[in-house]
Amino acid sequence: MSKVLIIGAGAAGQVVAKKCLMNSDVFSSVHVASRTFTRCETLKEECDNNIHIYQLDADVVNDTVKLIEQINPEIVINMALPYQDLPIMDACLKTKTHYMDTANYEPKDTPKFCYQWQWDYHESFKSINRMALLGSGFDPGVTNVFIKYASQTIFDEIHNIDIIDCNDGDHGHPFATNFNPEINIREITQEGKYYDQSEWKTIPALSVSRPIDFPEVGNKKAYLLYHEELESLVKHLPSIKRIRFWMTFSDTYLNHLNVLQNVGMTSIEPIQFKGQAIAPLEFLKEVLPNPSQLSANYKGKTCIGCMITGTINGAVKTKLIYNICHHTDTHKEVNAQAVSYTTGVPAMIGAKLILTNKWHGDGVFNMEQFDAQPFMDELPKQGLPWKVIDVDSPLD
C-alpha cells in the first residue's frame, strides 16, 4: 500500500489519477499537484473527492521538495511537461523518492529532446537507492515493452523495427492536438531522424511518407518522425540494425500546421506584444482546444504497434504487436480520449510495477531494461489489450 504524488493534472495526468484509484490495492492514497489549481479541483470532483490536491509550480525545486516532504509519497509520477523532468528529478533526489515520467527532457528554449540529460542522473539515483523510470507512456513506453517482449519470447535476434502510430479518430474540430499542443507541435516540426546500419540519418521534417496497412484500421499515409524511444532502444538492444517511427496525420491537420508555421505561429522565439514578451507557440496553445476536453465527441480508434523483423529458429520473420483503443470506450471509462488514455494507463502500470517490486533497480532506467512480462500481463487487465500477428510484407 503506497502513496503516490502525480504532478500535472492535464489530459494524461487525469487518467493516471483515475487509474491509480482503480488500483487501490497498490495506491493507498492518490495526491495530485498542478500549476493551475482549478484543474485539480475539477479532477477531484470527477474522482468523488477521493484524491488530495495541491497547487504547485514544479519548476521551483524547493516547492516540490516541500510538498514531497509534506505528503511523503513512495513515488512521484511526472505528468507535467518535458521541461519539468529535471527539476522534478532534482526534488526526488533531495527527498529520496522514486521518479517516473512519460516524456524525456527538453529545454524550453531549444526544441530538442534527448535522454542524455536524464541518463546523467543515474549515479545520483543509484547512490540514494531509488529508481527513476523514464518514458512509461505508450510511445515511448508500451512500444519499448512490446519490443523487449518480442526479444524475450518471440525472436532469437531482432534486426529491423518500425514503430507505427495511427490515430484514426475524429474529434470534430478543424485543428486540435491530442496531447499538449506546444509539445506536440515542437515534436512534429523537428527534423526526422532514424537509425539504419549503425548510423543515425536525418531528414527534413515530414519529408518522408508512405502508406501503411494498419491492422483493424486499413491503409493510412504515415510520416517518418524522430521519436525518443529510438535513442534508448538502439542503446539497450544492440542487435537492432534499423529502427524507424511512423505516425499518421490527416491532410487537414498538415494544412493547418503549414499555415500556422508560415505565419510564424509555431515559433518559440519570443516577440513583443503590447509591451510583453510572448512566444507565439505558447499563445497558440492557449487558443487551441484543450486535449482534455476533446473526448465527448471523439469517434474512432488509435492503433499503435511495433513491426519487428528478426530471426526465429534461423528463419527471417516479421511480427506486429499492437493495441487498438477506442475513443468512445475511454471517454465512457474515464472521460478522456484514447491518446490521453494510452498515455495514462501505462504510467499507472509502470508505477505499480515499481511499488510492487516487480521492477526494481537503483538508478535511471528505460522500459526495455526490465522484464516485459509483468507489464504485458497488466496491459489487458488495465484496458489496453494487445495482439501479435504475422506480417507477410514488412516495410522496405
Ligand X SMILES: NC(=O)c1ccc[n+]([C@@H]2O[C@H](COP(=O)([O-])OP(=O)(O)OC[C@H]3O[C@@H](n4cnc5c(N)ncnc54)[C@H](OP(=O)(O)O)[C@@H]3O)[C@@H](O)[C@H]2O)c1
CB-based contact 4:74 (threshold 8 Å): yes
Window contacting ligand X (CB under 6 A); options: 29-37, 193-201, 235-243, 293-301? 29-37
> And the C-alpha cell for 379?
496491459
> Positive or negative CA dihedral for 29, 33, 36, 37?
positive
Window contacting ligand X (CB under 6 A); options: 7-15, 207-215, 250-258, 266-274? 7-15
Site membership for ligand X, residue 350 (CB under 6 A): no
Instruction: Tell me the one-letter amino acid at 206.
Output: L
Residue from 73, 82, 169, 350 touching ligand X (CB under 6 A): that is 82
25: number of Cβ within 10 Å: 9
Residue from 17, 68, 183, 384 touching ligand X (CB under 6 A): that is 183
Window contacting ligand X (CB under 6 A); options: 78-86, 161-169, 262-270, 366-374? 78-86
Phi, psi of 154 (to 5 degrees): -110, -50
Q: Which is nearer to ligand X, 8 or 310 (CB)?
A: 8
Site membership for ligand X, residue 176 (CB under 6 A): no
Give the three-class secondary structure for 192. Answer: strand
Spatial CA neighbour of 146 closest among 303, 302, 305: 305
Q: Which is nearer to ligand X, 121 or 245 (CB)?
A: 245
175: number of Cβ within 10 Å: 16
Site membership for ligand X, residue 302 (CB under 6 A): no
Site membership for ligand X, residue 115 (CB under 6 A): no
Window contacting ligand X (CB under 6 A); options: 24-32, 81-89, 147-155, 321-329? 81-89
Q: Rounded to 5 degrees, what angle do the CA atoms 278, 265, 259 make? A: 175
Site membership for ligand X, residue 13 (CB under 6 A): yes
Site membership for ligand X, residue 330 (CB under 6 A): no
Q: Which is nearer to ligand X, 291 or 363 (CB)?
A: 291
CB-based contact 389:319 (threshold 8 Å): yes
- Quick one: 361 exposed, middle or buried, by C-beta within 10 A (0-12, 13-18, 19+)? middle
Interaction with ligand X in 234-293: which residues (CB under 6 A)?
A: 291-292
Q: Which residues bind ligand X (CB under 6 A)?
A: 7-13, 34-36, 39, 56-59, 79-82, 84, 102-103, 137-141, 179-180, 183, 291-292, 343
